[in-house]
Structure 1
């Protein structure tokens, strides 16, 4: 991550040392590799070499080194070009970031990267709602076993090289001390949705009786993520939205992937955020020296856009997302409905009522998924069950949606003419947009093929409904590939 350069070389090269992440050690400087090109030393000190060859060769080499087949044979030719390129460019780095839109295969990329690391132990940090997805992908794509680390009490881990351990950003404060105390050897670390770690505040100043200031570590999520990153042998960050709001959000993520290589936040912000004192404190909301920042990022980051991957994606992909019980919303207003349905003796009616109850448990996850997609300028359609759930979900999304993103919410209570007008507006919209409706109102005889992500909140429960609902998006005239995501609430009738 760093290269040692003595003072003589610095002086002879007339090198600017005012780069965040460069550290003076008296007789020389520690220079982060991501800054070598910036200071003009790449040709003198180190040659940037990316391991040549296709990803298939890397997978085969990994399996030869470990003496076992970790991935099934179909995996060797399954990865899409943008995934393969990201993996090839990350090879040999101790810290790397992969920025790609939702649905571009970041999870699978992360699994291959974990095996390429050759570390005995492997840890994934993701959002609580995504733990089930990682668990299923590990089972589907590798011979490893997934183990989810959750809970706050009775923390125990039996470390096994054949296991990939999954924990959540929300529970890092509980698990990190235990992991660092018990893990027996080096580990590779994947930060999924790394923008969750954008909070830069990891210590607080405390004035001592002597008049000196002591910085006390905070016990928050990002502080614990930083401790975990600091001890990791190698790190990978995955995200679709590396800069959720302002450029200042990026520093904490970079510091997780390449600890110390970007310097402290204040110096970094002075350099790249045009930091200044405004009379009340420091203002970090600006931008500056962006060409230099982009040049440094090129060393340890691979970015792909929605447009770049569209030509390589199949017309339709299916995804199953599992939500643990503690990741679900509490259901509301269904007890009487279920009792009434049970009294009728109509099994079909009871089954559909239970599906609607399960759909109401997924609102928090759906809102987050929609916001992530529109941040990448994707168009999203959400199908849910009954009208009340549609209205509540629509209002929840609208409250969180950034201004300027068009959204429509309609169900069978709206006249067909109004729904058709909404459909036309949605289809004609360029960039991010959201349409929320019930499957009964929108799931048949309607063209919605100009869609990037279709979220099925209430699951269709007959083969006909599945074909019809998916058929809204996969049609002649389709302009873009679509990801159809089935969201399953564990412990409900969904299973």
Structure 2
């Protein structure tokens, strides 16, 4: 059964009207608020009712481009008449998709540079699904799209997390929307106006912090073209329960961990681990907490099975209820698959099988499946086998199940190895204090066993 226009929520109708009235629109809606259907409805009206636009480019994460937009398109009766072409796959397939006569062309963000360099730009409207993936002004995709921005009449930026690592992330996103009208044409000017140096080592500045009152000023500057809403304020969201499942290493395993933590180097038999800086140390400590670690030659060194044992207990306790397992390192995935009958969520078919209840234990990587995928029909339990410092990826993956349409209480389990960097990451995620600075602060105190104030270059 297809859904009708009348079944949209009132706040969704408000957002549609906002897009219609604003050629530049930032739709900063929380996960599960229906950014795709809001945008598709507005595009239908603009293209087939008002006739004010003709050729639309949607830029999205790869799997969202492959699955979510076409799936959403097929669910709604009132979108009849719009034609979609997916500019995906091989070079030949992308070229054929661009020749096909359609209203909306959907491309994954990795191919934006290719599109700009190889195609005569004739898109009058651009939608950037997950605008925060354009948060780096140094990225080639940002530079390519910025070059084409003056040719675009209408632009819509969609995201639930516009500032995942701080307000500096906002400038590139807003620059693509309004070409520098509100936050300035150059990031240096934006930084000078609203920020102060934070972490530094003499002349080298590692991070910036907002000046007093800067956040309010920035939000006021962009408020005329941006809408921000949280799902809990507008949707009947299911209950969400967050749990920690603590595991403990034995004395031998703890000693291996502590030695690497203390000395930044560790020898295990003929294998040697060496962490050159705080980021590398955090990475290796997280791996050891999970139960295995790569050496310098990418060989997997086994440390313990504590998390695998805990995962087995969680799967058994689920008693046939589907579980979505989030992993971070490839060796974690390999060890999980070697022990359990787990299926990767990789393709559109995998997503369909999960939502139809055909997969009981699923594996998913936050970086490849965090944005846009609707998985709430297939289950309501997430197990974080390994954690990430990225608040954005953490929140986005949780929102695959905790979103509108979920019929059950969502349970999010975190398997935490006691006395390890797992605890630092979990605490940072709960405080929403994440990113490079939090990582360095958490790990720096461990190097050499004591906090060393002079080692700001770590």
Q: TM-score, normalised by structure 1?
A: 0.48
Q: Using the TM superposition, give the Cα deviation of residue 193 of structure 1 relative to its aligned residue in structure 2, in angstroms.
A: 0.6
- 1:269 touches 1:275 (CA, 8 Å); kept in 2? no
Q: What pairs up with 1:117-266 in 2 under 5 angstroms? A: 117=46, 118-131=52-65, 132-141=67-76, 142-143=79-80, 144-151=82-89, 153-154=91-92, 155-156=94-95, 157-159=97-99, 162-179=102-119, 181=120, 183=121, 185-201=122-138, 220-261=140-181, 262=183, 263-266=185-188
Q: In 2, Cα distance between the equivalents of 1:433 and 1:177?
A: 33
Match of 2:381 in 1: 382
Q: In 1, Cα distance between the equivalents of 2:32 and 2:399?
A: 18
Change (3 A) 1:367 1:135: closer
Q: In 2, Cα distance between the equivalents of 1:231 and 1:148?
A: 22
Q: Using the TM superposition, give the Cα deviation of residue 114 of structure 1 relative to its aligned residue in structure 2, in angstroms.
A: 2.0
Q: Using the TM superposition, give the Cα deviation of residue 123 of structure 1 relative to its aligned residue in structure 2, in angstroms.
A: 1.1
Q: In 2, Cα distance between the equivalents of 1:128 and 1:223?
A: 19
Q: In 2, Cα distance between the equivalents of 1:274 and 1:371?
A: 37
Change (3 A) 1:175 1:152: farther
Structure 1, unaligned runs of 5 or more: 1-71, 203-219, 316-327, 339-353, 374-379, 384-389, 406-430, 437-450, 457-469, 475-495
3-state SS, counterpart of residue 147 of structure 1: strand
Q: In 2, Cα distance between the equivalents of 1:221 and 1:367?
A: 20
Of the structure 1 ranges 145-154 and 281-290, higher mean CA displacement relative to structure 2 is found in 281-290
Match of 2:265 in 1: none
Q: In 2, Cα distance between the equivalents of 1:269 and 1:372?
A: 36
Change (3 A) 1:432 1:102: closer
Match of 1:409 in 2: none
Match of 1:320 in 2: none
Match of 1:368 in 2: 370
Q: Using the TM superposition, give the Cα deviation of residue 258 of structure 1 relative to its aligned residue in structure 2, in angstroms.
A: 1.0
Change (3 A) 1:433 1:269: same
- 2:31 touches 2:399 (CA, 8 Å); kept in 1? no
Q: Using the TM superposition, give the Cα deviation of residue 146 of structure 1 relative to its aligned residue in structure 2, in angstroms.
A: 2.2
Match of 1:295 in 2: 220
Q: In 2, Cα distance between the equivalents of 1:258 and 1:453?
A: 30
Q: Using the TM superposition, give the Cα deviation of residue 120 of structure 1 relative to its aligned residue in structure 2, in angstroms.
A: 0.8
Q: In 2, Cα distance between the equivalents of 1:454 and 1:254?
A: 28
Q: TM-score, normalised by structure 2?
A: 0.52
- 2:25 touches 2:226 (CA, 8 Å); kept in 1? yes
- 2:60 touches 2:107 (CA, 8 Å); kept in 1? yes
Of the structure 1 ranges 284-293 and 258-267, higher mean CA displacement relative to structure 2 is found in 284-293
Render the CA deviation track for 1:229-285: whole Å, top value 9, x for unaligned.
Answer: 332211000100000111100000001111132321111111122369964245662
Change (3 A) 1:243 1:335: closer
Structure 2, unaligned runs of 5 or more: 47-51, 240-329, 342-356, 412-458
Q: In 1, Cα distance between the equivalents of 2:396 and 2:131?
A: 22
- 1:99 touches 1:303 (CA, 8 Å); kept in 2? yes
- 1:138 touches 1:145 (CA, 8 Å); kept in 2? no
**Equivalent position to 1:267, from 189, 195, 205:** 189
Match of 2:319 in 1: none
- 1:149 touches 1:165 (CA, 8 Å); kept in 2? yes
The structure with more radius of gyration: 1
Q: Using the TM superposition, give the Cα deviation of residue 128 of structure 1 relative to its aligned residue in structure 2, in angstroms.
A: 0.9
Q: In 2, Cα distance between the equivalents of 1:372 and 1:249?
A: 26
Q: Using the TM superposition, give the Cα deviation of residue 286 of structure 1 relative to its aligned residue in structure 2, in angstroms.
A: 1.4
Q: In 2, Cα distance between the equivalents of 1:174 and 1:308?
A: 40
Q: CA RMSD in A?
A: 4.6
Match of 1:112 in 2: 41
3-state SS, counterpart of residue 224 of structure 2: helix
